[in-house]
Amino acid sequence: MIEAKNDENPVEPTLEPLLQAHIGKQLRNMYDAMTREPVPERFKLLLDRLEAGDESETTAQEMEKSVAGADKAGAV
């Protein structure tokens, strides 16, 4: 890494184009794989509640119970 001798003209670190391309390819592969994974049941429940406009006062314990039940059902 090259350091600037004064704060007025800092030198930005750069990567070689081949390294940038390799990192980009690896990131695309990782994110593509993630987009093919199923959405966890607890997220589906939360999204359903948001879409329904559920603004009720739900305690953390109630939410944990619903998430735990969904996780157990999905583990079958």
Task: Convert the pLDDT of each residue in 33-56 to its tens digit.
Answer: 989 999 899 999 999 999 988 666
Section 17-43 average pLDDT: 93
Number of domains comprising the chain: 1
4 secondary structure, DSSP code: P
CA neighbor of 43 nearest in space, from 26, 63, 17: 63
The answer as to whether 33 is a domain residue is: yes
Give the confidence band of 13 by pLDDT, cuts at 50, 70, 90: confident
The answer as to whether 6 is a domain residue is: no
pTM: 0.39
pLDDT of residue 1: 47
The answer as to whether 11 is a domain residue is: no
Domain that holds residue 70: 17-74
pLDDT of residue 76: 44
Give the confidence band of 8 by pLDDT, cuts at 50, 70, 90: confident
Residue where the block lists tokens 């940038």: 20
